[in-house]
Amino acid sequence: MSYLYMGAIVPISIAIPITVGVAKYKRLDQSLKIVFLFLVVNGLTNVIAKLLAVAQVTNLPALHVYTVIELWILLLFYRSILNDIGLSRFIPIIIIAFFVVSVINTLFFQSIFTYNSYTRSLEAILIILFAIIYFIKRLDKVEQSAKGTAIAIINSALLFYFSGALILFIVSNVIVTDIKLGAAIWNVHATLVLLMYILFAVALYIYKP
Amino acid sequence: MSNNIFLLVMLGMSGTLLLAGSVIFFYIRYQRKFLIQRETLQRKELDHKKHLLYTSIRSQEEERMRISRDLHDHVGSSLSNIRMMLGKIEKVSADDTSLKTIADTSKKGIDNVIADIRSISHRLLPPGLSLWGFYHSTEDLCENIRVSSGLNIQLADHTSGELQNIPFDTALSLYRVIQEALTNTLKHASANNITISLMIKDNKGAIDYIDDGKGAEMNERTKGLGMYNMESRLSMINAAYKVTTAPGKGFALSIYNIPLL
């Protein structure tokens, strides 16, 4: 039952925000199109991970690549919504630095057949920081438009997911040996992912240009 | 052992989720507070602008009254004196035909000026408004325009006289609005008929003004100064209004919610 939830229901649920995104794609602005791209890449990764699992091949190498791509897309999203020249200059440097750190991590610390807990944790910390920066910068700019609300919901979803998942990323290599414990903890992670997808779907649904 | 790890992970996760939730909660709360503050400030600014506008309208009316009184009392009486003097000159110089003609022509000129001054003075301050009330002053205004323009103006009072006893400020505002509407019809509408109906709706006064002129496209951009004046005067007395017009379909102004006390 727990496998059905974590391995099928939650990964398939990404179809909900993707469907809303497809229906409204033409009306989406640049930042929302980046969110849509994030969902598509996330969905494709779910499919690849499932195919590799069915073929009984480890899907951890895909996770190493996905981590870099995910951070890259999410930082592009933050660059588009923050409208801050200083931060905009800084973001490409973070993306390149993260790529370099990921390569070093893969080569010297956590091989592609190991869960990349260091880079996943670092990614989570970076996204949490950017989510908080966004809220701080928007504190005295009340956005009553549908677009502002949609972006705030997406930011809340990212902040909530990565804050919850950070602890899981940190301890992931400790719990990997205990299958029962791992299943229980990754089920909790699946719930966070589901919540994020639902919030993304709501944000895309209420968005108006 | 695994139970302990699960508990620790869950505790850690709950902590981070709580922190994230607090950030989101704080953001929403702060934004709401900020929004309320901004709305309060905007409302105060609007109230201040309204106050300035009302003060300007009131001082405009006071100035009109003063000019009207001065024209009537001082200029009018001075002209009457000059006219009397000319009458005396006319009598004294009964034998001097040319002087008599000059005096006669001057008297006619002065008569015209006195009539003009009276007309200007009445336009500046409707003389009967404080004496005979809103309905009769409006009737007087309609009659003057009917005579000078040839327009067919129907003024119908469907009230039991409630609009006669409204406060002077309310009466003056409504009078000015109708005056402005009549001026607009005369200037722009090419209308033949105007109907003005005074009514009572839900214990409040109501006025319908309808002309059969060429109408106009009405939106914020095309609204003229006259319409803004009407708006200001009606908001000053807390009355509401609705304009219905379109090219070729005449013009209708519905004023309602007029306070009677």
> Among B100-109, B153-162, B214-223, which stretch is predicted with the lowest mean pLDDT?
B214-223
pLDDT averaged over every residue in chain A = 91
Is the Cβ of B13 closer than 8 Å to some Cβ of chain A? yes
Look up the pTM and report it.
0.69
Is the Cβ of B27 closer than 8 Å to some Cβ of chain A? yes
How would residue B221 be classed by pLDDT, with cut points 50, 70 and 90? low
Mean pLDDT, residues B12-39: 92
Residues 6+ apart with CB under 8 A from B53: B232, B236
Per-residue b or e along B34-67, where b marks 16 or more CB atoms closer than 10 Å to that residue's CB: eeeeeeeeeeeeeeeeeeebeeebeeebeebeee
| pLDDT in the model for residue B227 | 80
Mean pLDDT, residues B51-75: 86
Mean pLDDT, residues A62-91: 92
Pairing of strands B193-201, B204-211: antiparallel
Residue for token pair 């003609």: B101
Helix%, strand%, coil% for chain A, nearest 5? 85, 0, 15
Nearest to B161 by CA among B179, B138, B134, B137: B134
Taking a contact as any Cβ pair under 8 Å apart, which residues of chain A between 161 and 190 contact chain B?
Answer: 163-164, 166-168, 171, 174-175, 178, 180-181, 184-185, 188
| pLDDT in the model for residue B163 | 83
Min Cα–Cα distance to chain B from A160, Å: 6
| pLDDT in the model for residue A145 | 86
Architecture field, domain B131-258? 2-Layer Sandwich (3.30)
ipTM given for this complex: 0.86
Min Cα–Cα distance to chain B from A117, Å: 15
- Cβ of B2 and A178 within 8 Å? yes
- Cβ of B9 and A175 within 8 Å? yes
Residues of A in contact with B24 (CB under 8 A): 135, 156, 159-160
pLDDT at A2 over 70: no
How would residue B16 be classed by pLDDT, with cut points 50, 70 and 90? very high
Report how far residue B98's alpha carbon sits from residue B76's, in angstroms, rounded to the nearest whole number.
27
- Cβ of A185 and B20 within 8 Å? no
Report how far residue B85's alpha carbon sits from residue B96's, in angstroms, rounded to the nearest whole number.
16
Residues of A in contact with B9 (CB under 8 A): 167-168, 171, 175, 185
| pLDDT in the model for residue A35 | 96
Q: What pLDDT digit, counting tens, does each position of A40-72 carry?
A: 999 999 999 889 888 888 888 999 999 999 999
Q: Which of B19-33, B61-75, B77-91 tops mean pLDDT? A: B19-33
The answer to whether the beta carbons of residues B175 and B233 sit under 8 Å apart is no
DSSP string, B188-210: II--SEEEEEEEEETTEEEEEEE
Is the Cβ of B36 closer than 8 Å to some Cβ of chain A? no
Backbone angles phi, psi at A102, to 5 degrees: -65, -40
Percent of chain A with pLDDT over 90: 69
Min Cα–Cα distance to chain A from B40, Å: 14
Extents of the domains making up chain B: 2-124, 131-258
How would residue A129 be classed by pLDDT, with cut points 50, 70 and 90? very high
